Amino acid sequence: MAKQKTSHTKYKVNAGDRVMSVLIYVIYAIFAFVCVYPFYYIFINSISNNDISARGKVLFLPKEIHFTNYTRVGQIPGLADAFKISIGRTLIGTALTVVIAAFLGYMFTRDTLWKRKLWFRLVAATMYFNAGIIPWFITMKNLHLTNNFWGYVLPMAVQPFYIILCKTFVESVPHELQDAAEIDGAGTLKVFFYIIVPVIKPILATIAIFAAVAQWNAFQDTLLLVTDPKLYTLQFVLYQYINQASSLKSLVNNATSGNLAASLAHAQTATSIRMTVSVVVVTPIMLVYPFFQRYFTKGIMIGAVKG
């Protein structure tokens, strides 16, 4: 048959398929635009003439580019502190979560562990229930973890889902590896550090990314547990700015009114503050995003095996 004569003709291409194919390209271009444009929009507005931007006239290209907004938001009291807190909780919280997931994931594969199945089930079960806000708050209060930096990291340290990911991964590693090391006299911990950790690095990278994003984006715990402005996170401060941008505007403008040269174009507006802080908050995600993207599918597929 004619169709089979040329092997590179994958399937019949008729006019209908052509139209379909073009349509698909166009529709996905729209999806991509809808996802990208908002980020682009806040960025160009944060570097445009503030007066024009506040009137909503900066749509596709930045107008009268300047970067004073970025130096000015630094003067908002508390922003630098919030940045430190967010970085701190992301680093410490991620490290804790990853180490615990790796270690427990490994320990829960060991037949020698006393009551292994029981402990594993008790840990895994916590994925499926939640005491609720008030009992949670009272617990945290009793433990003196309200208005406390450790209130950000300790409760999120043991993540059953990541433990299951690690456990599944360790189970897929040939057991002979561990056996050989143990015959050579390696103890439980030695096997973990020298055999297991190097082998499960890929899954640990995946977990680190998810844990870091969760820590960086966390908002609810600040809302519930923290009243001390020194412990506010970047997300929380951003939320406050969105709602109070107009009062902050006057604050920042007054602080710099010493030099009256601050023209209308560079004077802070509610819009400029919102946009600029948003860019500050989203930048770390944007910076690491290209690097961690390749771990997505891997992580999700391992999760799907068990999930």
Partner 1 sequence: MRKWFANPRNKRSFIEFLYICPFLALVAIFSYYPLYGWVYAFFDYRPPFPLDIHKFVGLKWFISMVENPVKAKQVLSVLRNTFAMSGLNLFFSWFPMVFAIFLNEINCRWYKKFVQTVTTLPNFISWVLVFSIAYGVFNSTGAVNTILQELGITNEPIMFLQSDRHIWFKMWLWNTWKNAGWAAIMYIAAITGIDGELIEAAKVDGATQRQIIWHIEIPSILPTYFVLVMLQLANFLSNGMEQFYVFENSFNKDTIEVLDLYVYNLAMGAGGYSLSTAISMLKSIVSVVLLSATNLISKKVRGEGFI
Q: Note whether 61 binds partner 1 by CB under 8 A.
A: no
In the complex, the smallest distance separating the C-beta of residue 265 from partner 1, rounded to whole angstroms, is 17
**Binding status of residue 188 toward partner 1 by CB under 8 A:** yes
Q: How far is the CB of 198 from partner 1 (least distance, A)?
A: 20
Piece of 77-85, 99-107, 193-201, 252-260 that binds partner 1 (CB under 8 A) = 99-107
Among 63, 92, 119, 295, binds partner 1 (CB under 8 A): 119
242 binds partner 1 (CB under 8 A): yes
Q: Shortest gap between Cβ of 86 and partner 1 (angstroms)? A: 11
Q: Closer to partner 1 at the Cβ: 130 or 254?
A: 130
Does 35 help bind partner 1 (rule: CB under 8 A)?
yes
User: Residue 259 CB, nearest distance to partner 1 (Å)?
Assistant: 28
Q: Does residue 34 interact with partner 1 by CB under 8 A?
A: yes
Find the shortest distance in angstroms from Cβ 102 to partner 1.
11
User: What are the C-alpha distances in Å from 13 to residues 7, 126, 152?
Assistant: 14, 53, 57
278 scored as a contact of partner 1 (CB under 8 A): yes
Binding-site member from 6, 114, 198, 287 for partner 1 (CB under 8 A): 114
Measured in whole angstroms, how far is the alpha carbon of residue 280 from the centre of its chain? 14
Binding of residue 54 to partner 1 (CB under 8 A)? yes
Q: Residue 62 corresponds to which tokens in the numbers above?
A: 């930045």
Is 22 near partner 1 (CB under 8 A)? Answer: no
Q: How many residues form the binding site for partner 1 (CB under 8 A)?
A: 88
Q: Which is nearer to partner 1, 14 or 259 (CB)?
A: 14
The least CB distance from residue 63 to partner 1, in Å, is 13
